Each structure stands twice: as structure tokens, then as C-alpha cells.
Structure 1
Amino acid sequence: MKKILCSGILLLSFLNFSCSKGKTDKTPDPVVDPSVTITKGADVSWVTEMEAKGVKFYDKSGAQQDLFALLKSLGFNAIRLRAWVNPTNGYCNTADVVAKALRAKAQGFDIMIDFHYSDTWADPGKQAKPAGWTALDFAILTTTLHDYTKSVMNTLKDNGITPLWVQVGNETNDGMLWEDGRASKNMANFAALIKSGYAAVKEVSPTSQVIVHISNGYDNGLFRWMFDGLKANGAKWDIIGMSLYPSKTNWADLDSQCLTNMNDMVSRYSTPVMVVEVGMEAAAPTESKAFLSDIISKVKAVNGSNGKGVFYWEPEAYNSWQGYGLGAFDTSGKPTIALDAFAN
């Protein structure tokens, strides 16, 4: 998700199949069964780095509080953590992921692990191989991905952590581990990498649900292209994951398009869906709350109760931490009203 810190959502021009820049016809609000419950999560992978730099978090009354406990009190029930192979500063490496996962488990959170298969940010605009993997031929690369995934999963297991969900790749709009796994050039290679990661997860934790994740959850053409291609090449997944980062003026349209896309994914692939990343301007908490309330309702309304959850990406980031302006805490380190949407 790092791609949008300052410049907004990055689209690969050749993958921008069906993004509509105009207003869409207003569709009726979906009917939500009040008995349907979904996961309400947050990606807080920055937390250890923020804490090391002296950043603190406060509840709405101004009392300092541990971030995990604070999110629990706000209605969140799951934590998402990104995994990098060998990051230069150590944050988001396996040891750091385990440390954060243990804190999440202590608060009773379900856990999602998000493998980037890189030493740094992976997203639609960049999918760089880890430095130690760059010279590998494709067969060895596929095996290395499998063995690394299995090693991280075993390390989590050894620490008493069983992720409920595992992403094999992050925002893989054009595949991952470029150039070998660039989907637009070789969908079969990308599918082979997905199959390798899927197998590794299931070998350690058969109950963990494997997610394939791409961005722009409103773009049905992109999703059909990707998952048709993966299916044709024998890839497996348990859940289709998507990102959604609207503005304060277009969120209603994009939410409606996202619901249409989610229902199509369920129908087309018999696969549940999950919005694994959302965010909006921290400076627009009222609009953000409206957006979040609406997308949560729409996920609950997915046909057959196949909408499984909504995760806010780094809500705790404030004062433009690392240039990121889409958190949901105010400048004093307290949650804004945007996060009230997760309490319902």
C-alpha cells in the first residue's frame, strides 16, 4: 500500500481495464442481515518502529494506552502484519512479525500474515525480488518462496501462533517477484508462485485461509483478468483480497462498484472476498467514517454471507508518519471518529 503515501493510488496503465472516472447510476442500498458478522481488522505493521521512535498512542480521553489494547476497545478483532524477507532496518522481518503477532494474540485478536516476498514494499508499481533471490533461476526461485513461507509459518507455529489468514503476495496486480513472476508477461509463472506459497502455508497450517490480494477493488475488469488467468493456470486460493482507497468525494461510487465486483467474484469463482486494505484522509474523519460504515455494510451484504471482513491500513499512523496521510488518528495521537465505524 506504500505506493499511495503522497501520490494517491498508482494504476498500471495496461491493467486499468474498467475504472470509471465518472459518476455511476445510484444503486439501491443493499439489504444487510443483522445476524451477519464480519472481521474488523487493522494493519499495524509500523507499530514497533513507531514505538522505537517514541511515538505514543492515546484513547479518546487522552490516556496513554498500548495500541493493541486501544484497538480492541474500539471494536477491532483482527490484526494484519506484513512480512519482509530481509529488510535493511529489521522491521517486518520474521522476528519483528512474531513479536507483534504475540502482542496481538495476547489481546485475543485473529491474525493475518501478509507476505510481500520482498525486502521492502511490494505493490502494483513495484514487486522487487529480495536481494538474496535475484540470481535464482525460476525453478529454484519457486522452491525458495515455498521454503521461506514454510519457515515463517513454522516459526509462528513454534511461538503458538496460527494465522487465520495468510496472503501470498501483496497487491499483486501484475504478479510478483518481477520479472519472472510478472503476470502480464507470464501468467503461468505467477500462478506457479501462488501455488508454491499456497502449498507451503497448508503444509504447516491446513486451517489457515490463503488470500490472493490485488488493489482497486472497484475494478472488475482487473479482477476478472487476474483470477481468470490464475484459474486457467491451476492456482489455488481460499479468499480473494482487495484494497480500496477512495477520496472523500468518490467513496460512494467506488463502494457501489466494489460491492458489484465482490458479488461477481463470489459468483464467478465460488470464492469468499475480503477488503484487506482501506483508508481515507486523516484530515477528513467525518467522510472517512461515512465511507467505512458504508463499506462495512456492503461487505456484510455480499451474497451468501461471503464478505468476510474489512481491514484499515495503518490507522495508528499520525502526523504524516513516513509521509502517510491516510491514518485515522488525530495529530495528538488519539483515534478520530472515523474508527467509530468499527464499533458497530
Structure 2
Amino acid sequence: MSVMNTKIFQRSVKICAALTASVLMMTSSANLMTSSAYSRAGTSSYNRSVTFDTFPAAVNGGEPIRGVDISSILAIEEAGVVFHDDKGNEEDIFRVLYDHDVNYIRVRVWNEPNDGKGHGYGGGNNDVKTACEIGRRAAKYGMKLLVDIQYSDFWADPAKQTRPKYWASHDHNTLSGEIYKWTTWVLTAITEAGGDIGMVQVGNETNCFFCGETDMYKICELFASGNKAVRDFDRNILIAHHFANPAKADHFYWYAKIMNECKLDYDVFAASFYPYWHGTPENLTNVLSTIGNTYNKYVMVAETAYPYTSDDSDGFGNTISQWSTGVDLDYDISVEGQAESLTDAFQAIANCGGKGIGVFYWEPAWLGVSGISQSQQRDNWDRYGSGWASSYASEYDQDVTSAGGSSFDNQALFDFRGYPLESLDVFTRIYPKKNKPEIKWKTRLYGDLDGDGSLSRSDLTLLKNAVIKKCKLDDEQFAVGDVNADKKVDINDIILLDRYLSNKHGSGMDLIGKSRSFELK
């Protein structure tokens, strides 16, 4: 993404305009955020489908990539954002995406997005550990992973490609070696954690700018180190190079030409395509199909988004709204307009013939917590990294002057309360489709921490040890150990389970001994 620090923060006039718009819309936003009755917040009669008539069998099992980038999801969840399914029930967002036929997850990876003192830089705090967890959760639902390695400690985009702190003094050859080693380590860690890597991006929006280097020939030498690491790790993983703004067609053709001159070994030429900035779908098709056919590369959209409202959920202001100037708002700012924009992006790639492989929607769930104050939102941005930046990022990025939130919440595919919009249904209308992996279920009793099918003192011992940090519970153990359903495992659960085992029945024990269902891949 051409991230907020380059699209907004370097343009102070736009910040002021966005924040002013945010204040003007505060009343209507508050009404939306505090509504308790469930209905799908955005309805749309737009239901056009897209079929990739020719699709390479070697890519994604012969199925178009229906992808989303939810890199910020762990920080968002930690801050308290909750997601729901189409029926209004609270649900794991990965399950919601699975139910809407999303088959690929994109995740950005930064080297050391923190100050070394326990404070993350924000933007999801996307270190390798975070990518591992996102990859693990995606694999549970049969989703492949596009690992977007940015080779920076924070946002990398056309205007900013700052080297990681520990690489700052490296000469070209040393930097090349570090890129190889880092790439290998990232892929190893994610794979060992259970992620199913299908593609790797070597760099993010590298418009003749990468890891501090601005000479395209030297950039290709650095690219080659990352590419070799991927090939050495697993030759079945696709390698992508990513550039922004296909409206500048001559620039795209030049990037592809130089990479070909340098005999760069890669598979996918990827574009950011935000229609309010980056031209028409017809131009996108023309530019990418020309590159794909000329150099025998697959092509795709690595990032796209469009607003469904001009309201704002977290008091930070929006990158794009009805008040934006100097942009092309060719679609209505509505759920229907958002659905049409995403469908057109898929159609543009499908029109690239056998070279087009799919589309990723950027940060469709990047929300603030509904119904809390501005000061609480700001605390979340610093504490959890759930906004675009924490105040601690200022040591690395000079454009960070304070913590900031999400300027893309009005472009999400979920409303401000975490309910899916009908524009999320676009993914269900992209063809051809293969059978989705079956999600199997198993049951376990509340209080049965040892998994033996009954409740006993051994379960209580496990619970006590977890509370005093002598052992760590896995996800299932945590769920059945939270016998009072307060989303915590603590002394209160110990007291309730002890009373139950001692036949001292009372209030708060309704769940103990009842079945809880778990999904298994």
C-alpha cells in the first residue's frame, strides 16, 4: 500500500481536510456505531460475476486468487474489534472470509517494527511472529499465503523505502547477503508455524526504489538475492514483484524491461490499483496484459480498495471520501459502488487472458473499536498497534508526529461494528471455483482441559498451573477453561470449576460440563 505516511502525512492540507470531514460526520457515525440491532449494514443489488475463461492450471490449483490483505488483524482483535457472520453471530474473521470464498491471505512482514523496549511501531506491528500466526490461522481454512516481505522496519511504498535499522550501514554486497538470509528465515519460520506459502513478494511498491537504493539495475541485484532465497527454499512458491500506479504505463513498461534485461527470475508482475488514483480498469488490462505477454509473466492486482461511505469510525479521518479532491471517484461511494469497483478489478485481470491470476483487496477489516472515545482509540493505537502508527514509530519514521488510526475504515468490507457488507459477496462470484477444503468439527466439554472427555481434579490442576503461568494453554484449552465466558482464564474460573467438582453448585456454572464445538481442518 502507498501507506498513509506518504499519501496523507506528507500532505498536511489533506490531513486537515480529512479530519474536518471526520468531525462533520461524527454524529451520523456515532449513530451507526452504537446501533445494536443487526442487519447487513450495506445492501446492494449489484451481483455481476466474473469468469476467468483461461486460467493456468499451475497457479492456485487452477482457481483464480480471491485474496485479501488482513495484515493488521491481530492488533485489531487485541484492541477489541469483533467480527460477525452473515447471520449476525460473532465469528472468527478467517471463517467469515472462508464462507465468502476467499482463498488467499496476504500479510506484510517488517524486520523489527519496534523500539527495542517493548513498544511496537503500529500498523499491525507486523513482525515475523505476527505473520506466523496469521499464516497458521489462514491454513486452518485452506487459504494460501502471499508473504509480502517489505525489507524495512515500517511502511514501504513508492515514496519511502527505509532500510531496517540493523542494515543501515551495510554496503551493497553485504545488504544483498542479508536479504537472502532474511528471506530464508521468514519463509522457514512461517512454514514451521503451519502457514501454507503460495507466493512471496520481494519488496512492496518498489517503483525504482527499494531498501534505500534508487538505481534500478542495483535494485535488480538486490531483488535477485531475495528471489534466489525463495527458489532455494521451495521452487513451487511463486515470486512476485510489485509496483504502484499502472496509469503511468511507461513506468511499468520500463520496470518490466529492466528486470528482463537483468534476467531476473520471477513469476508475477503485480500492481497496486486504487481506481481513484490509478486510472481505469481498461488501462489496467492493457498495461498488465502487454507486460504479461511480452515477458511471459503472470499478472495480478496486489492491492485495491474503494469506499462504501464517507463516514469515519475512529476519529482519524479518511484517505478518500466524497470531499476528496484531485481523485477520480468513478463509482458511487456506496456498498454497490464498492462492489462494482472490486468486480471491475477482477474483470480487468480476467481480461488479461491466461496471464491474469487474481486480485487482493487491501485491509478490508481495518476498523477502530466501535463506541469508544477518541482518547481510548488513541490509547489502542499506541498499546496494540491497531492504527497506522504508534507514537513510538517517530524514532524510525520522521513523518510520525503522534499515534494515528485507520484512514481506510470507510473502505473496509465490514461495517464499523464488524458486520460483513454485501460487497464481500463479490468473492463468491469469481469463477472458476474448486471445492473448498472441508471444515470438520469436534466437541469438548467446558472444564475438560486435559481432553479426556470427563471433568476431574487433573483439569483443575491444569487450570491452576495456567493461571500462575506454570504452563501455557493452547487455544482449545483456553476456550474450555474460560468456564464463565468472560474471555479470560483467571482465579474466577478456578473457583467455579473447584465448586463444580466439589458438588457445590451455584451461579456462574451453567457452562461447565456442556459441549463446546471446535473446527478442525
Q: Same fold (TM over 0.5)?
A: yes
Shift of 1:319: 4.7
* Aligned-CA RMSD value: 2.3
Structure 1 residue identity aligned to 2:407:
Y
Question: Hey, what does 1:62 align to over in structure 2?
Answer: 88
Question: Hey, what does 1:312 align to over in structure 2?
Answer: 361
Distance of 2:151 and 2:6 partners within structure 1: 23
- Of 348, 352, 358, 1:298 maps to 348
- Of 326, 331, 335, 2:416 maps to 331
Structure 2 residue identity aligned to 1:85:
N
Shift of 1:323: 2.7
Distance of 1:145 and 1:275 partners within structure 2: 25
Distance of 1:206 and 1:127 partners within structure 2: 27
- Of 109, 112, 125, 2:159 maps to 125
Question: Hey, what does 2:211 align to over in structure 1?
Answer: 177
Q: Which moved more, 1:92-101 or 1:327-336?
A: 327-336
Structure 1 residue identity aligned to 2:358:
G
Gaps of 5+ in 2: 11-49, 56-62, 115-119, 310-332, 370-386, 388-404, 430-521
Structure 2 residue identity aligned to 1:239:
V
Shift of 1:235: 2.0
TM norm structure 2: 0.58
Distance of 1:34 and 1:141 partners within structure 2: 43
Question: Hey, what does 2:73 align to over in structure 1?
Answer: 47
Question: Hey, what does 1:261 align to over in structure 2?
Answer: 287
Shift of 1:277: 0.7
Deviation track 1:63-113 (CA, whole Å, cap 9, x = no partner) reads 111111111111211101111001111821111111110000011101110
Contact 1:213-1:242 within 8 A present in 2 as well: yes
- Secondary structure in 2 aligned to 1:267? helix
Aligned ranges 1:1-344 → 2 under 5 Å = 1-4=1-4, 7=7, 34=53, 36=55, 37-88=63-114, 89=120, 91-178=125-212, 181-182=213-214, 186-247=215-276, 254-283=280-309, 284=333, 285-303=335-353, 305-319=354-368, 322-325=405-408, 326-344=411-429
Question: Hey, what does 1:24 align to over in structure 2?
Answer: none
Shift of 1:195: 0.3
Distance of 2:237 and 2:407 partners within structure 1: 31
Deviation track 1:273-299 (CA, whole Å, cap 9, x = no partner) reads 011111011313211101111221221
Distance of 2:8 and 2:160 partners within structure 1: 15
Q: Which moved more, 1:51-60 or 1:255-264?
A: 51-60
Shift of 1:8: 6.8
Shift of 1:237: 1.3
Contact 1:282-1:329 within 8 A present in 2 as well: no
Deviation track 1:295-329 (CA, whole Å, cap 9, x = no partner) reads 212212212x2100100011011359523222221
The aligned length equals 316
Question: Hey, what does 2:460 align to over in structure 1?
Answer: none
TM norm structure 1: 0.86
Distance of 2:237 and 2:140 partners within structure 1: 19
Deviation track 1:238-262 (CA, whole Å, cap 9, x = no partner) reads 1101111113xx88x6111101111
Deviation track 1:162-208 (CA, whole Å, cap 9, x = no partner) reads 41100000010122111xx21xxx22210001100000011111110
Distance of 1:52 and 1:2 partners within structure 2: 25
- Secondary structure in 1 aligned to 2:275? coil
Structure 2 residue identity aligned to 1:260:
N
Distance 1:206 1:141, change over 3 A: same
Distance 1:191 1:9, change over 3 A: farther
Deviation track 1:124-158 (CA, whole Å, cap 9, x = no partner) reads 11000000000111110110011010111122232
Question: Hey, what does 1:20 align to over in structure 2?
Answer: none
Q: Which has the larger radius of gyration?
A: 2
Distance 1:265 1:9, change over 3 A: farther
Structure 2 residue identity aligned to 1:219:
K
Gaps of 5+ in 1: 11-30
Structure 1 residue identity aligned to 2:362:
W
- Secondary structure in 2 aligned to 1:164? strand
Identity of aligned residues (%): 27
